[in-house]
Structure 1
Amino acid sequence: MSESDDQVASVPASPKPPSASYLSSPAISAPPSQLQSPSLSRSPFFQTPQHPRTTTKTITRHEKTYSHTPQVFSAPVSQLHSPSLSRSPFLGTPDHPVTMPASGARTPLGYIRSRNLTPKFLTPLASPLRKALRLTKLDPHDAWLPITESRNGNAFYAAFHTLCSGIGFEALILPVAFIFLGWAWGIISLVCAFIWQFYTLFLLINLHESTETGIRYSRYMQLANAAFGERLGNFLTKFPIMYLSVGTCIALIITGGTTSRVFFQIVCDSSCKADTLTATEWYLVFTCAIVLLSQLPNMNSIAGISLVGALTAVGYCTTIWIASVAEDRLSNVSYDPIKAKSHVSKVFNNFNALGIVVFAFKGHNLILEIQATMPSNEKHPSTIPMWKGVKASYTLIAMCVFPISIGGFWAYGNLIPSTGMLTALLAFHAQDLSKSIKGLACMLVIINSLTSFQIYAMPTFDEMESIYVVRYKKPCPWWLRVVIRSSFGFVSFLFAVAFPFLDAVAGLVGGIVLPVTLAYPCFMWLKIKKPQVYSLEWLLNWGLGVFGMGLSVLVVIGGLYSIIDTGVDLKFFKPQ
């Protein structure tokens, strides 16, 4: 037998390890296009195996050892630069060494066919997963800021936050708009405003993530700066956004403090000998509770608080309108629009009423912040759970807003006070309703004001903490966070005491924030998405954006005119 012909090393059987000569087969080198593959160094086909694959045959006191050096085998071209290259079965490292069978194919290609290592899918070069990698581009400071510190939100969290921020004490003032608009125009304006703001919500949710630049716009002002430029974006949005955040927090202290005083008077009536606190002292008590609750670190940590706020908002809206309708309407009620002194007064009063309607649909300044609390990738983008949560929450908002507007105006007509439904309920049915119903309504309003403050203050907390984070390149220490949030709470208390009439200028506030809700999202969609010129999408967004800006100017003028004409009692530092 000629051992040179088959390249077999024959050695006598002995305890000593055999000295084998190995077959040397020509290496098949990887093509140049594969040399930069991220997982090339981990591929078993490019490494020397830890255990040589051998086949041993015993022939008359001799051992013949067949040893094979595997050929270098490259990954398919379609898998180059794939994000899932390291998880491909071609390039995965086996859990245990594989021994070549005594018979069968001994070539690498034959071995691969026998093991059926073909992956279930081959990722093409132009895969959308390459865009998914770009979606992970985040601001390095985001992990240290309260809005984006936690990104484990879901559709339920989105529904809780959206419902808590989308409905509040402003809904109680909606029937006041019907005094000027009447039945027909009141319902038409309410329906149109609801549909319009729901459409702009859809635009904002779909603008949150950019598949082109790979950036998540986690704040409303970030999206505005990307669409309009930093200078114009700050000019257009900074004041309305901060006004919505800070102004709503001040109004919540006014509402919560005033309602706390009323609740105490209902529960502890004339039979109680305890001395009541002044309005300022009730404001301070409510502020202390707010400051204590505001120490929760980030947006996701207040999801339970937002759930309580959402339930209490639905609860007091439902309780107040059902109690008002159940007691039947007043005997001398009238539904005719209030007659103005002149035609000009009538026009501006109508615009002021539209501002009240728009102000009831707030919360757009928090939509991107809420969506930023969710994880996102190409397979599971944050748009899907966010849109589910928004649809669920706004279904409940519609079930609260429309009944309280229509039912409240039906029950009180033109006699409804400017402060809203709760005041009307306590004023006209103080003797008819039981103490438990009145106390329940007040308690729900107090809890809702306490919980809503947290989500509306979060953008301000985020902005204040970002100053420290950007400057020192590290997260805020816990003691500084406590100081920042406590300071904001007590400064808001001072403004609430100084300007206790903010709830009486709802029309003016609605005109100021109207572009944030109805106009700017349309312009940002046109700027970023760039729809085809003169298409239906292009015409719709241009029309809504221009009409929204014009309406904002008219509503602001109407709000100012209404304040001057009706003589709102501006009592500074005199909370009632």
Structure 2
Amino acid sequence: MVGAGVLGLPHAMSQLGWGPGVTLLILSWIITLYTLWQMVEMHEMVPGKRFDRYHELGQHAFGEKLGLYIVVPQQLIVEVGGGIVYMVTGGASLKKFHDTVCPSCKKIKLSFFIMIFASAQFVLSHLPSFNSISGVSLVAAVMSFCYSTIAWTASVHKGVQENVQYSKKAKNTTELVFNFFNALGTVAFAYAGHSVVLEIQATIPSTPEKPSKVSMWRGVIVAYIIVALCYWPVAIIGYWIFGNEVNDNILISLEKPSWLIAMANLFVGFHVIGSYQVFTMPVFDMIESVLVKKMNFKPSSLLRFAVRNVYVAFTMFIAITIPFFGGLLGFFGGFAVTPTTYFLPCIIWLKIHKPKRFSLSWCTNWICIILGLCIIILAPIGALRSIILDAKTYKFYS
């Protein structure tokens, strides 16, 4: 659950302000926990059948064809977008590690560090399944907790900056509004995880006496407690220390103690190596299934080798082309993560369970749907503006 999006939360706070920022952090935690509970419950709602893929749940709710058209594009955008963001994050973290450890060394361009990060993915992408990356995922989980803790403890150690400002940095009302929109997407991206939750639950054994949802829900509770322990201190303390001057990646704002900041960036690198695989495994499964079942390709090691290498190369190319961490978080958070995380589970729940109109369940789901629709409409607008502004001063493929 804990992703690299946590690093952008202090910057999102600086664009939202104290009141809206803290409110959105807590509200997003509650809403996404609720929608995740719905997905865990719906995994085995039909006796003797398990919905092991998000699109299978969509097909059950909306029909064979419509379910695919509604769910698959959204899920793909989340997973591909997550892969691209993690490519940028991994490269930026390795660059920061290099520059911190060896400040006198010749500067190496970000593009090359993204390529270095991608080289690990070319190898790991040939592991056969989710269970094969359980060790990588464990390391990633430990790393995410470590670098989140370092981010806020190092901020506390640094102390509140002289002349710190908590007022909005925007020069005019238009910029203020667009920055606010972008921040909505950044917060949404931090809570990404629903797009692969059913695939993860599918790996848990299930019996009538002990259905998989029991173990899965325990895992979700533990995950969300860790999410709160990681996200909230980083967001609130990072903003408190740096104010509106905080970088779109909190670890870039921190400089000392250099050994600790270098270690934190290395932890981020290790973490996103695992996170990239968690987001990418379902994409491999989807692409290979379409090639074999729809396009009559023969399943073989060569097909697998080609598909996975081409996909990793594609995400690497996009990451090198637009390595704008803040803008990408806002765009993919609003456009991609919000539907699958904030309101699609609610729509499916209403469609399948049909709760009584104006009951608690009915009202709760409609509130989540309305809030989610606001984010999906507004966040990409602010994020695209941010990307365009960054692109004006960026030399592509530098």
- Report the TM-score, using the length of structure 2 for normalisation: 0.92
Structure 2 equivalent of residue 301 of structure 1: 132
Question: Does the 8 Å contact 2:59/2:67 carry over to 1?
Answer: yes
Question: Does the 8 Å contact 2:194/2:341 carry over to 1?
Answer: yes
Structure 1 equivalent of residue 26 of structure 2: 191
Q: Is the partner of 1:467 in helix, strand or coil? A: helix
1:569 aligned onto 2:391: yes
What do the CA deviations read for 1:334-360 (whole angstroms, capped 9, x no partner)? 112345523x55444323322221111
Looking at structure 2, the residues matched to 231 and 280 of structure 1 have their Cα atoms a distance apart, in angstroms, of: 40
- Counting only pairs closer than 5 Å after superposition, residues 323-472 of structure 1 correspond to structure 2 as 323-339=154-170, 341-342=172-173, 345-417=175-247, 419-426=248-255, 433-470=256-293
Looking at structure 2, the residues matched to 551 and 441 of structure 1 have their Cα atoms a distance apart, in angstroms, of: 31
For residue 480 of structure 1, what is the amino acid of its counterpart? L
For residue 230 of structure 2, what is the amino acid of its counterpart? C
Question: Does the 8 Å contact 1:290/1:489 carry over to 2?
Answer: yes
- Counting only pairs closer than 5 Å after superposition, residues 214-225 of structure 1 correspond to structure 2 as 214-225=48-59
Looking at structure 2, the residues matched to 352 and 488 of structure 1 have their Cα atoms a distance apart, in angstroms, of: 28
User: Residues 329 and 218 of structure 1: is their aligned pair in 2 closer, same or farther, counting only changes over 3 Å?
Assistant: same
Structure 2 equivalent of residue 261 of structure 1: 95
User: Residues 291 and 561 of structure 1: is their aligned pair in 2 closer, same or farther, counting only changes over 3 Å?
Assistant: closer
Aligned mate of 1:494, from 317, 323, 326: 317
Looking at structure 1, the residues matched to 358 and 195 of structure 2 have their Cα atoms a distance apart, in angstroms, of: 29
For residue 425 of structure 1, what is the amino acid of its counterpart? L
Looking at structure 1, the residues matched to 103 and 384 of structure 2 have their Cα atoms a distance apart, in angstroms, of: 39
**Structure with greater helix percent:** 2
5+ residue gaps, structure 2, are: none
Looking at structure 1, the residues matched to 393 and 193 of structure 2 have their Cα atoms a distance apart, in angstroms, of: 29
CA shift at 1:469, angstroms?
4.3
Structure 1 equivalent of residue 74 of structure 2: 240
Looking at structure 1, the residues matched to 116 and 178 of structure 2 have their Cα atoms a distance apart, in angstroms, of: 39
Q: Is the partner of 1:569 in helix, strand or coil? A: helix
Looking at structure 2, the residues matched to 248 and 515 of structure 1 have their Cα atoms a distance apart, in angstroms, of: 14
Structure 2 equivalent of residue 283 of structure 1: 114
What do the CA deviations read for 1:474-513 (whole angstroms, capped 9, x no partner)? 9943343233222221222222222222542322222212
Question: Does the 8 Å contact 1:312/1:445 carry over to 2?
Answer: yes
What do the CA deviations read for 1:176-201 (whole angstroms, capped 9, x no partner)? 12222211221111111110111000
Structure 1 equivalent of residue 305 of structure 2: 482
CA shift at 1:327, angstroms?
1.3
Question: Does the 8 Å contact 1:329/1:412 carry over to 2?
Answer: yes
Looking at structure 1, the residues matched to 43 and 171 of structure 2 have their Cα atoms a distance apart, in angstroms, of: 45
Question: Does the 8 Å contact 1:500/1:571 carry over to 2?
Answer: no
For residue 442 of structure 1, what is the amino acid of its counterpart? N
Bigger relative contact order (CA 8 A; separation at least 6): 2
What do the CA deviations read for 1:313-332 (whole angstroms, capped 9, x no partner)? 11111111101111111101
Question: Does the 8 Å contact 2:327/2:383 carry over to 1?
Answer: no
What do the CA deviations read for 1:379-409 (whole angstroms, capped 9, x no partner)? 1211000001111111111100000001100
For residue 559 of structure 1, what is the amino acid of its counterpart? A
1:172 aligned onto 2:3: no
Looking at structure 1, the residues matched to 95 and 51 of structure 2 have their Cα atoms a distance apart, in angstroms, of: 42
Q: Is the partner of 1:222 in helix, strand or coil? A: helix
Aligned mate of 2:42, from 199, 202, 207: 207
CA shift at 1:541, angstroms?
1.5
User: Residues 266 and 349 of structure 1: is their aligned pair in 2 closer, same or farther, counting only changes over 3 Å?
Assistant: closer
5+ residue gaps, structure 1, are: 1-165, 427-432
CA shift at 1:210, angstroms?
2.5
User: Residues 260 and 324 of structure 1: is their aligned pair in 2 closer, same or farther, counting only changes over 3 Å?
Assistant: same
Structure 2 equivalent of residue 540 of structure 1: 364
Question: Does the 8 Å contact 2:97/2:265 carry over to 1?
Answer: yes
User: Residues 573 and 455 of structure 1: is their aligned pair in 2 closer, same or farther, counting only changes over 3 Å?
Assistant: farther
User: Residues 251 and 570 of structure 1: is their aligned pair in 2 closer, same or farther, counting only changes over 3 Å?
Assistant: farther
Looking at structure 1, the residues matched to 37 and 362 of structure 2 have their Cα atoms a distance apart, in angstroms, of: 16
Q: Is the partner of 1:203 in helix, strand or coil? A: helix
For residue 15 of structure 2, what is the amino acid of its counterpart? F
Looking at structure 1, the residues matched to 252 and 277 of structure 2 have their Cα atoms a distance apart, in angstroms, of: 25
Structure 2 equivalent of residue 516 of structure 1: 340
For residue 515 of structure 1, what is the amino acid of its counterpart? P
Looking at structure 2, the residues matched to 558 and 194 of structure 1 have their Cα atoms a distance apart, in angstroms, of: 22
Question: Does the 8 Å contact 2:251/2:261 carry over to 1?
Answer: no
User: Residues 502 and 259 of structure 1: is their aligned pair in 2 closer, same or farther, counting only changes over 3 Å?
Assistant: closer
CA shift at 1:551, angstroms?
3.6
Looking at structure 1, the residues matched to 114 and 182 of structure 2 have their Cα atoms a distance apart, in angstroms, of: 29
- Counting only pairs closer than 5 Å after superposition, residues 137-148 of structure 1 correspond to structure 2 as none
What do the CA deviations read for 1:234-273 (whole angstroms, capped 9, x no partner)? 4433333112111211221222122222322322342x6x
Question: Does the 8 Å contact 1:501/1:571 carry over to 2?
Answer: no
Looking at structure 2, the residues matched to 301 and 553 of structure 1 have their Cα atoms a distance apart, in angstroms, of: 38
Question: Does the 8 Å contact 1:254/1:496 carry over to 2?
Answer: yes
Looking at structure 2, the residues matched to 544 and 237 of structure 1 have their Cα atoms a distance apart, in angstroms, of: 18
CA shift at 1:456, angstroms?
0.9
- Report the TM-score, using the length of structure 1 for normalisation: 0.65
Looking at structure 2, the residues matched to 170 and 398 of structure 1 have their Cα atoms a distance apart, in angstroms, of: 13
Looking at structure 2, the residues matched to 308 and 291 of structure 1 have their Cα atoms a distance apart, in angstroms, of: 19
Q: Is the partner of 1:232 in helix, strand or coil? A: helix
Structure 1 equivalent of residue 60 of structure 2: 226
Question: Does the 8 Å contact 1:501/1:570 carry over to 2?
Answer: no
For residue 239 of structure 2, what is the amino acid of its counterpart? F
CA shift at 1:575, angstroms?
4.9
